Amino acid sequence: MEKIKKIGVLTSGGDAPGMNAAIRAITDKALEQGIEVVGVIGGYRGLIDNKIIPLTSEFVNSIVGLGGTKLYSDRCNDFKTEEGMQKAIDTCKKNNIDAIIAIGGDGTFRGATDLSLHGIPAIGVTGTIDNDITATDYTVGFDTAMNTVLGALERFADTCESHARCNVVEVMGRRAGFLALNAGIAVGATSIIVPEIEAIRTERLFEFEEQGIQVVPSARAVNYTMNRRAIRDLASRELGLRTAKYVFAKTFEEFKKAADEIGFPCVVKPLMSSSGHGQSYVHNEEELEIAFK
């Protein structure tokens, strides 16, 4: 591969604390290596629309302490199309950009991968408060976001104690529970609920209702929502509705027998989950063991 002479830097998706510091670090290191650096305004949208600015030491040194991203950000569906991708490639060629460094989360990394597959070398720098990027301990922005949550919770605790109430606090994190888990541990939360652990002892909710505690909307409704056995039995046995053929299995032997009975391909789902988590589409017997695990 020829020596890279010019790179483009962009930020994409949700902004995260530290993005401007990442822009500065990339720019300073590249300039030190004799590589010209340009910024792409507005993420992948800017790459499509050819919004390019030069990045200098003076510019990046002035933004290092600012929040957000001075290159601006956007979620661009057009970049997912072949037409949008071609426009982005044309922008790189027109501006003699040899490679792209994309700062962002999982969507940004998918975009960088697609760009690489189309012939423009691209790498990603993790920039997301969710901390949901594999092969990295802490993403850019996670630590600051967690400390922001801690500050808010510490102030909120005074109000909770004043009214002798237990309060539920929802934090950001998308489909990852890192913010909730770490902040909850730090403030000594009584309970922490994260999306990675979906099994809920719904039978306890019936006990709470018997004790006079109100469950919203009701223990029965939550049980039907989270427990596949309950909702399946309700639809098929109690209401007599026509459903897809299903079998419940506890052991791998029961699982194999159920798959033979239903036939391939078949869909495998955990007894309790939501949003399709843990679901597998099994094409043949060889895939059963992986699906069961």
Residue 194 domain-assigned (yes or no): no
Catalytic residue among 15, 106, 130, 132: 130
86 with 160, same domain? no
155 with 266, same domain? no
pLDDT at position 30: 96
How many whole angstroms from its chain centre is CA 185? 21
62 with 94, same domain? yes
pLDDT tens string 38-71: 999 999 999 999 999 999 999 999 998 898 999 9
Which amino acid is it at 79? F
pLDDT at position 199: 63
pLDDT at position 105: 92
89 with 120, same domain? yes
How many domains does the structure of the chain reveal?
Answer: 4
Helix axes 142-162, 178-187, angle to 10 degrees: 50
Residue 50 domain-assigned (yes or no): yes
229 with 265, same domain? no
Residue 171 domain boundaries? 142-187
Query: For the chain, which residues score pLDDT lower than 70?
Result: 1, 197-199, 273-277
55 with 163, same domain? no
pLDDT at position 31: 96
26 with 91, same domain? yes
pLDDT at position 231: 83
Residue 40 gets the label, from left (phi > 0), alpha (psi -120 to 50) or beta, of beta
Q: Which of 22, 82, 71 is nearest to 46 (CA)?
A: 71
Hunting for tokens 């901390």 — which residue is that?
A: 131
pLDDT at position 251: 92
**217 preceded by cis ω (within 30°)?**
yes
pLDDT at position 1: 57
pLDDT at position 188: 86
Q: Are 23 and 70 in contact (CB under 8 A)?
A: yes
pTM of this prediction?
A: 0.70
Q: Are 189 and 177 in contact (CB under 8 A)?
A: no
Verify whether residue 49 is a known catalytic residue.
no
